[in-house]
Amino acid sequence: MDETLPQRLETKGIIGSVKKALFRIGCLLLWSISLTADKPNLVFILADDLGYGDIDSFGAPDIETPNLDRLAQEGMRFTSNYSNSAICSPTRAAFMTGRYFQRLGLEWAVWYQAPGEGLPPTETSLASMLKDAGYQTALTGKWHLGYEEGWRPNQHGFDRFFGCLGGNVNYFEYYDKTGTHDMFLNDEAIHPDAYVTDLTADYAVQFIEEMKEEPFFLFASFNAPHFPFQGPEDRESEFSWHDGTREKHYIPMVESLDKAVGRIVDKIDALDLAENTLIVFTSDNGGEKLARNAPLKGLKGSLWEGGIRVPAIARWTEVISEDTVSDIPVQTIDWGATLLKLAGGSPPENRPLDGKDLMPILKGGQALTMRPLFFRRALDPHRSKVVEKRAVRLGKWKYLDTPAGEQFLFNLETDIAEQNNLIDSNLELGLGMSSMLDQWEADIDPPLYDQRNQALINKAARTNSK
């Protein structure tokens, strides 16, 4: 039977409404897909205490690192990449904020189980900023920016966390130097049965698999090759926190790290994510006694090049040209700033970034406007034998001084090993760079938080309990 005119109009109205609704939903989905496509996945892989010359592609003669070498061949090596600090926690704080860590009042490695030291709960971390920009976020491995509730990874923007809260653990049994268990899945203590480096890669690969349809930020923060010096075959060996040899312990640790990085990269490639994923590999500071920092002078803890110049590799298929090298000086804070810019995120208005976006370098080797990179090694409230020193890198020049009045000036283009002090023949340049350091310190001091006083309280409590 024919429809009446009112029925036809009603039917057309319903169909029209449905069509409009479907059209709007389709537009929304297309917009959502377009927005997601514009957001690259971000993978930041951090080694711990890796020496400048501990990778084959950076000159290692005795360590095989085929996965890192492949990453370098498929991307860009940075030969003048600096950790913000010569020790671990401050560099991590710099990365997680994109700002000089001195602003937070944290100029030392957070002590074992110490309260009130690290990344304060009132700060907005890079993970939180990326989460606000639409990213799924995960940290696998070492945190070392606070133990207490509010200071932990899950409270600083990480949707998922696997790893240790402190600076180091037994690689097989997961306790720290106080004997405290330190291995967590989010806020729950866990007791897996595997080598820490392998576990860190396990959780990283699992996260990538589960997040393959969404933009993600993965911070793979490996403990290796930080002490204790335990290779993957050392489960039954006599345990020591600090003893070991390069051949028996350190080299297997680095080669295991290389395999773990390879697993992360292979997963990204297997899921066809390479063209939409920036991978960055670097270290939190220079290597210590078993590392090879050659041709650099000094070790972890110092502001000589060996303490702060660290290898870095970046790969982004179809964006970064293969097998390229940049010798432009950059710092850890720049990587934080770069990731945030790529994500379309922004820092809080009262926390402007100190780091610079490195995409002009990554996309075509363009130089940034020449700028000074600042460093400071302050007294450590927990540890003795720290040599106070300031440093600034400006172009080819590096200037250092101490409170005792020592001054050093090196031309790193011709003297990467810092053997020839040119201060006497370049006094005016030295004075100018010293003035830059003074101006920088006037900007960063006093810090936003008095963590030094809290650290002294922690040390006193520790001493009184003995």
Q: Is 156 annotated in the active site?
A: no
Q: Coil, helix or strand for 59? A: coil
List Cβ neighbours of 389 (8 Å cut-off, separation of 6 or more): 302, 303, 376, 377, 400, 401, 402
The span from the CA of 130 to the CA of 132, in Å, is: 5
> What is the number of residues in the chain?
466
Q: Which of 144, 156, 226, 249 is catalytic?
A: 144
Q: Is 226 annotated in the active site?
A: no
Distances in Å between the Cα of 140 and the Cα atoms of 196, 198, 222, 237, 273 are: 10, 11, 8, 26, 20
Q: Which of 88, 156, 226, 249 is catalytic?
A: 88
Tokens of 327: 């010798």
Burial environment of residue 2 by CB neighbours within 10 A (0 to 12, 13 to 18, 19 or more): exposed
Long-range CB contact pairs, 190-198, < 8 A, 24+: 195/171, 195/232, 195/235, 195/256, 196/141, 196/164, 196/169, 196/171, 196/172, 196/223, 196/224, 197/171, 197/222, 197/223, 197/224, 197/232, 197/253, 197/256, 197/257, 197/260, 198/232, 198/256, 198/260
DSSP H or E run through 35: helix 5-37
List Cβ neighbours of 144 (8 Å cut-off, separation of 6 or more): 88, 89, 92, 109, 110, 118, 165, 166, 167
Q: What is the chain's Cα-based Rg?
A: 24
Q: Coil, helix or strand for 125? A: coil
Please name the amino acid found at residue 207: F
The span from the CA of 68 to the CA of 58, in Å, is: 10
Q: Which residues are catalytic?
A: 88, 144
